[in-house]
């Protein structure tokens, strides 16, 4: 017998004990309790008339005429002298009649009698009758207390036997078997009606105590007793089975099947099937166990294990699965063996994924060391073969195997598998943790370490954690000798991370090092390296080097005509422009324009500016007019109109210039060019001697844009117009009316103090902040207070004094539209948003959207509106804002992803699931981002709530195959997968899915493990409930005989 079978046998022998056997021998009880108690009558020495009356009452009692007898006893008690013996006797029989009539107060009357007649000769009989009545009513504890006060020696022989039997039965029913045995022992061998039942219960107690020889001896004496003849064979079958005499079980029990009732056959079938199992005759065991389980629907692990093992042993692997799954619910040796054979059945039926789960479960139990080791290795191996490692299960499994079995002959294979896993895994974070545990790393491990640190760095980079990404790239570079390709990749992305962090000099060094590294040209990043390097130089204002880099990029991409090429031509043009090489600037702007892929309007505008600087005003005008006609929605429209006005003004076409200025004034209310256009209009009108109209224009500048540089210039124009109109007094009156908003003259001290502070600020001097603060203290309403507040805000922002910076930005914003309004709105909106003041942030973002002169600020404003609405729970408004943002030009991939995410989430929050689904589907294609990971979960959840279970399950499996650094959403999907399995009726998979989460999920404080544990405990409670309901020991009811 193998250890598995021995364990199963011990489980059966220990668990088929019957805790309580309800055997109500009513026939015996009824017969014995109907015995008359005529012996209670005694000769009396009382008055003849009362004596005759009590004699007559006793005769009525003997004839079971209890009502008439009770009435007569009541009359006698009233007539008898108080305290007399005859009165005591009458009270006793009156109470006894109440017992016989099953009156509600019968026992109460007996108790009253005992209390009121403590020395009556009937007191002992009263206790006996009270106890007997309590026995018949099932009040065993009360009966035992009553019999404790009974003097048994005063009872006759039959009454003493009855007391022993009733006490024994009461102890038996309350599971006090040792006390019951003592009572039954006293009467089982006597010659009376109670002997048979006492013998049966005594034998049954010994059966429970596993004293099978004693039990069998007594049962044998009862086999010819009609009351017990049918039930005794069941005991004998059970005893043979419990003794392990399986041949005798089969020989003795099979003939019984044709003799017993249908409800007894399943239990006997189980005994026969189990016996064949232990005899290793599995094919014969199967039909009997099938019959038993089909009839009872048993969920008892031991019983299902026998059937499942028999199926497995006879090669019926598909059939073995269901009973072995049921058997594998516990945490004992039986469960370990069940899991192990279940895993093999899954392998044989080509269900590797389920085999993986079963091997894992077998490996977690410690009862059979050989099975534990083999199961762990197979679990790790199959997990590797399936590429199933959402929570790094493969690496953890091999790590665990190597740690537990350091001297195993399989360790070399385990290390080989680990290296392959490291080289293929997408769970980079935990792969790094695993490798770092290895004390001695060989070349293959270090090569794998170079790979996983590189890809983990990319994960962090893609999720905008640039500083952390650099650390991982450095770790990868420390093992750079193993792969030139990964070394080059780490150099490139480290340089790009430095660029994103504003460390442009380090970015330049990194990109140059990348370009010099062997193997760099094999990487896809090589094609864009010069482009990125060009931008880094551009940020450093090294325009010559920037131009050279952009030129190299263009030389290497001559066949491309994409947006990046067009942008490179523009940046190369900018580099020439800054260096005043207008001819080459025009050449490159022209190429960018004709590609018409990206910023073609910008290229055309810059080309026009260059032509103007070359004094070719006609060509400048021509190109600007082309821009206005070709790009009517361009963000440069106001720029172009203003430059057209200036060019026509320079060529003496004042009326045409005036038209363009008026277009700006009327059509671009929020443009920064509007005060400039009004100012220039005033000048044009002045030059045409239209002094009153010019005066109106200049006043419009002063009144609409106070505290601006244009206002200061306009004041001079107002002065000149009043002089031409010969009305200087009106000028002074006007200036006085303006008050502090615009000053006629600026004091020299005011000017010098401000200019010194401004110079320090522009030079990034550490004293700049204190000088600007001093200026504002001295001249709170000074001529340059607007500038000072803005520059001070910028400095405080740089110094991370955000609250103070916000005060200054909002001071600037309170002064109406001015040259600093747009940058102040950009920062103030950001600061209010970061402070979670979303309502105020929203108002600033809306204002910024209206006045924005740059595409970047427009995108920032629209993104800010979307985020503010989302955080405020204004989901419908967020939908509109997200759609507007998505329709914008030059939207980065990061912003596009965020906009789609918030659009989908807003649809989800407003129950517009059909609208959310396609967007979530697109986002879910890339689960490397947090938005994509959450989208994958939400997509699955929606499908589940729509009862599309197969589609929902497919999404989770796809999520697993894609993997993600955002384990929280993958774990949420796993919990949802357990719900999917439950809905499909697959509790086994549901339970082990939850178990996988609880055991493998790395975080402990985000609620995932707690949720998994709660769901797992619920499933386990259901399993236990079903198992307990299935444990029905053979019910042997002798009352049926």
Domains along the chain with CATH numbers: 26-188 (1.25.40.10), 530-599 (1.25.40.10), 611-671 (1.25.40), 676-731 (1.25.40), 924-1041 (1.25.40.10)
Tokens of 310: 């028999």
3-state secondary structure at position 87: helix
The CA dihedral of 359, 360, 363, 366, to the nearest 10 degrees, is -120
First-to-last CA distance in the chain?
Answer: 40
**CA 327, CA 335: separation in Å to the nearest integer?**
6
Of 580, 578, 577, nearest to 590 by C-alpha is 577
Q: Please report the DSSP string for 186-253 in residue order.
A: HHTTSSSTTHHHHHHHHHHHHHHTT-HHHHHHHHHHHTT-TTTTTTHHHHHHHHHHHTT-HHHHHHHH
Q: Which CB contacts under 8 angstroms, 24+ apart, belong to 750-755?
A: 750/779, 750/782, 750/783, 750/784, 751/783, 751/784, 753/778, 753/779, 754/779, 754/782, 754/783, 754/784, 754/787, 754/788
Dist. CA 608–CA 594, nearest whole Å: 14
Measured CA to CA in angstroms, residue 802 lies from 625, 789, 798, 799, 923 at distances of 44, 14, 9, 8, 35
With 0-12 / 13-18 / 19 or more C-beta atoms within 10 angstroms meaning exposed / middle / buried, residue 729 is exposed
* Contact predicate 535/571, CB 8 Å: yes
pLDDT reported for residue 346: 96
Q: Please tell me the distance from the alpha carbon of residue 353 to that of residue 14, in angstroms, as a whole number.
A: 35
SS3 604: helix
What are the angstrom distances between the C-alpha of 700 and each of 278, 696, 697, 715, 775? 107, 6, 5, 10, 29
| Count of helix runs (H) and strand runs (E) in the chain | 55, 0
pLDDT at 963: 76
pLDDT attached to residue 46? 41
Torsion of CA 153, 154, 157, 162, to 10 degrees: -90
**By three-state DSSP, how is residue 42 classified?**
coil
Report residues of the chain scoring pLDDT below 70: 1-48, 739-748, 1026-1041
Rounded CA-CA distance 534/849 in Å is: 30
- The whole-number pLDDT of residue 1029 equals 60
Contact 754, 727 (CB under 8 A): no
pLDDT reported for residue 739? 63
| pLDDT, tens digit (0-9, with 9 covering 90-100), for 232-254 | 888 888 888 988 999 999 998 99
Is 462 within 8 Å of 929 (Cβ atoms)? yes
């Amino acid at each position: 017998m193998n250890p598995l079978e021995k364990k199963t046998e011990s489980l059966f022998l220990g668990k088929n004990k019957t805790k309580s056997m309800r055997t109500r021998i009513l026939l015996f009880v009824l017969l014995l309790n109907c015995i008359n108690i005529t012996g209670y009558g005694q000769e009396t020495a009382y008055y003849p008339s009362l004596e005759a009356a009590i004699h007559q009452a006793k005769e009525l009692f003997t004839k079971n005429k209890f009502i008439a007898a009770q009435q007569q006893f009541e009359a006698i008690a009233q007539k008898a002298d108080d305290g007399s013996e005859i009165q005591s006797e009458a009270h006793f029989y009156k109470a006894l009649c109440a017992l016989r009539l099953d009156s509600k107060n019968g026992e109460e009357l007996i108790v009253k009698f005992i209390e009121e007649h403590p020395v009556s000769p009937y007191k002992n009989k009263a206790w006996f009758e009270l106890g007997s009545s309590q026995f018949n009513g099932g009040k065993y504890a009360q009966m035992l207390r009553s019999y404790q006060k009974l003097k048994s020696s005063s009872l006759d022989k039959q009454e003493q036997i009855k007391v022993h039997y009733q006490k024994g039965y009461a102890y038996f029913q309350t599971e006090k078997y040792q006390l019951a045995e003592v009572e039954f022992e006293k009467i089982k061998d006597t010659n009376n009606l109670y002997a048979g039942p006492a013998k049966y219960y005594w034998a049954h107690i010994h059966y429970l105590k596993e004293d099978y020889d004693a039990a069998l001896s007594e049962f044998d004496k009862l086999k010819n007793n009609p009351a017990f003849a049918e039930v005794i064979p069941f005991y004998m079958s059970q005893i043979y089975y419990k003794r392990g005499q399986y041949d005798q079980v089969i020989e003795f029990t099979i003939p019984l099947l044709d003799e017993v009732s249908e409800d007894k056959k399943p239990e006997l079938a189980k005994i026969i099937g189990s016996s064949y199992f232990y005899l290793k005759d599995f094919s014969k065991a199967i039909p009997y166990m099938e019959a038993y389980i089909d009839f009872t629907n048993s969920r008892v692990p031991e019983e299902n294990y026998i059937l499942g093992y028999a199926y497995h042993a006879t090669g019926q692997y598909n059939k073995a699965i269901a009973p072995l799954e049921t058997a594998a619910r516990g945490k004992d040796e039986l469960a370990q063996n069940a899991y192990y054979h279940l895993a093999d059945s899954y392998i044989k039926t080509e269900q590797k994924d389920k085999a993986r789960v079963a091997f894992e479960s077998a490996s977690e139990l410690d009862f059979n060391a050989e099975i534990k080791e083999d199961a762990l290795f197979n679990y790790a191996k199959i997990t590797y073969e399936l590429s199933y490692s959402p929570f790094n299960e493969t690496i953890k499994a091999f790590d665990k195997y190597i740690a537990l079995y350091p001297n195993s002959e399989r360790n070399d294979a385990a290390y080989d598998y680990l290296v392959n896993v490291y080289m293929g895994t997408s769970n980079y974070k935990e792969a790094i943790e695993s490798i770092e545990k290895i004390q001695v790393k060989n070349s293959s491990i270090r090569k794998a370490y170079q790979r996983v640190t590189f890809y983990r760095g990319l994960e962090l980079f893609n999720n905008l954690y640039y500083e952390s990404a650099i650390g991982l790239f450095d770790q990868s570079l420390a093992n750079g000798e193993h792969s030139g390709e990964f070394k080059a990749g780490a150099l490139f992305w480290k340089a790009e991370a430095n660029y994103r962090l504003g460390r442009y000099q380090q970015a330049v060094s990194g990109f140059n090092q990348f370009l010099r590294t062997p193997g760099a040209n094999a990487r896809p990043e090589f094609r864009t390296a010069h482009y990125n390097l060009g931008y880094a130089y551009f940020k450093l204002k090294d325009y010559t080097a920037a131009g050279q880099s952009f030129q190299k990029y263009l030389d290497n991409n001559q066949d491309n005509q994409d947006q990046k090429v067009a942008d490179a031509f523009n940046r190369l043009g900018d580099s020439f422009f800054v260096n005043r090489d207008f001819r080459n600037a025009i050449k490159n702007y022209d190429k960018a324009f004709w590609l018409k892929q990206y910023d073609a309007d910008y290229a055309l505008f810059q080309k026009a500016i260059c032509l103007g600087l070359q004094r070719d005003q006609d060509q400048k005008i021509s190109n600007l007019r082309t821009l206005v006609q070709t790009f009517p929605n361009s963000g440069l429209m106001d720029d172009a109109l203003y430059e057209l006005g200036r060019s026509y003004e320079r060529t003496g076409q004042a009326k045409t210039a005036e038209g363009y200025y008026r277009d700006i004034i009327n059509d671009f209310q929020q443009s920064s060019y509007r005060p400039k256009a009004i100012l220039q209009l005033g000048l044009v009108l002045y030059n045409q001697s239209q002094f009153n109209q010019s005066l109106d224009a200049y006043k419009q500048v002063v009144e609409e844009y106070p505290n601006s540089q244009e206002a200061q210039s306009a004041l001079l124009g107002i002065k000149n117009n009043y002089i031409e109109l010969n009305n200087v007094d009106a000028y002074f009156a006007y200036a006085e009316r303006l008050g502090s908003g615009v000053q006629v003259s600026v004091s020299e001290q005011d000017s010098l103090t401000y200019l010194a502070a401004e110079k320090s600020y522009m030079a990034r001097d550490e004293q700049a902040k204190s000088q600007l603060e001093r200026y504002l203290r001295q001249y709170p309403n000074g001529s340059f207070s607007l500038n000072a507040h803005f520059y001070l805000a910028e400095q405080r922002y740089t110094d991370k004094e955000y609250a103070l910076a916000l005060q200054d930005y909002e001071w600037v914003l309170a002064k109406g539209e001015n040259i600093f309004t747009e940058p102040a709105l950009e920062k103030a909106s950001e600061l209010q948003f970061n402070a979670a003041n979303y309502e105020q942030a929203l108002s600033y973002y809306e204002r910024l959207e209206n006045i924005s002169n740059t595409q970047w600020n427009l995108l920032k404003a629209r993104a800010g509106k979307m985020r503010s609405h989302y955080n405020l729970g204004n989901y419908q408004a967020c939908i509109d804002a997200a759609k507007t943002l998505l329709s914008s030009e030059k939207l980065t991939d990061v912003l596009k992803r965020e906009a789609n995410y918030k659009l989908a989430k807003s649809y989800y929050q407003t129950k517009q699931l059909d609208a959310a689904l396609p967007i979530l589907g697109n986002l879910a294609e890339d689960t490397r981002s947090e938005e994509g990971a959450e989208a994958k979960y939400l997509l699955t959840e929606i499908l589940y709530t729509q009862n599309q279970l197969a589609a929902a399950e497919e999404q989770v499996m796809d999520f697993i195959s894609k993997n993600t650094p955002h384990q929280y959403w993958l774990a949420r999907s796993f919990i949802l997968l357990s719900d999917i399995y439950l809905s499909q009726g697959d509790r086994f998979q549901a339970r082990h899915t939850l178990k996988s989460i609880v055991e493998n999920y790395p975080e402990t404080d985000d609620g995932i493990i707690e949720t998994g544990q709660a769901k797992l405990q619920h499933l386990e409670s259901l399993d236990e409930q079903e198992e307990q309901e299935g444990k029905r020991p053979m019910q042997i009811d002798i009352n049926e005989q």
